Amino acid sequence: MANYVRPQTRKLSSHSERKKLLEEAHNKNIVEVAQQLGMVLERVGKDYQWKAHDSLKIDTRKNYFYWNAQGFGGDPIKLVQTMMECSFKEAIHYLTGHEFKSFNQSLVPKREFSYWLKEASNPTLMSAYLKEERQLSDETIHYFMQQGVLAQALFKDRGTEQYDPVIVFKHFDSNHKLRGMALQGIKERFEWYPEKGKLKKTFGDGLYGCVVKVGHPPVIEEKKVNAGDKGISEQNPLKIIVFEAPIDMMSYYELFKDKIGDAYLMAMNGLKKGAVSTLLAEKFTVKIAEEKKESFLDFLQNSTHGTQAVKIILAVDHDEAGKKFIHDFGISKIPVIPHLPTLVSGAEKSDWNEVLQRLKKPQKTPFEERLREARQARPDFATRLNAIATTTTEKTKGR
Question: Which H helix or E strand runs over 96?
Answer: helix 88-96
Q: Do the Cβ atoms of 254 and 25 come closer than 8 Å?
A: no
In one letter, which amino acid is 317?
D
Alpha carbon distance 230, 221 (integer Å): 8
Alpha carbon distance 234, 265 (integer Å): 20
Alpha carbon distance 208, 381 (integer Å): 53
DSSP codes joined into one string, 193-246: -TTTSS-EEEEE-SS--EEEEES---B-GGG--STTPPBP-SSS-EEEEEESSH
pLDDT score recorded for residue 377: 58
CA 297 to chain centre: 20
pLDDT score recorded for residue 191: 83
pLDDT in tens, the chain (399 residues): 445 455 554 554 567 788 888 999 999 999 989 988 888 888 877 788 888 787 888 988 899 998 877 788 999 999 999 988 888 888 888 888 765 666 565 555 566 788 999 999 999 999 999 999 999 999 999 999 999 999 999 998 877 778 899 999 999 999 999 999 999 999 988 888 887 788 888 888 889 999 999 999 999 877 777 777 889 999 999 999 999 999 999 999 999 999 999 999 999 998 999 999 999 999 999 889 988 999 999 999 998 888 999 999 999 999 999 999 999 999 999 999 999 999 988 889 999 999 999 999 866 555 556 666 665 555 455 555 555 555 555 555 555
Q: Counting every residue, how long is the chain?
A: 399
Alpha carbon distance 290, 280 (integer Å): 13
What does each C-alpha distance from 20 to 11, 24, 79, 97, 246 come to in angstroms?
Answer: 14, 6, 19, 13, 46
pLDDT score recorded for residue 114: 87
Alpha carbon distance 82, 105 (integer Å): 23
Q: What φ, ψ does residue 152 adopt, rounded to 5°?
A: -115, 140
Alpha carbon distance 64, 68 (integer Å): 13
DSSP codes joined into one string, 16-83: HHHHHHHHHHHTS-HHHHHHHTT--EEEETTEEEESSSTTEEEETTTTEEEETTTTEEESHHHHHHHH
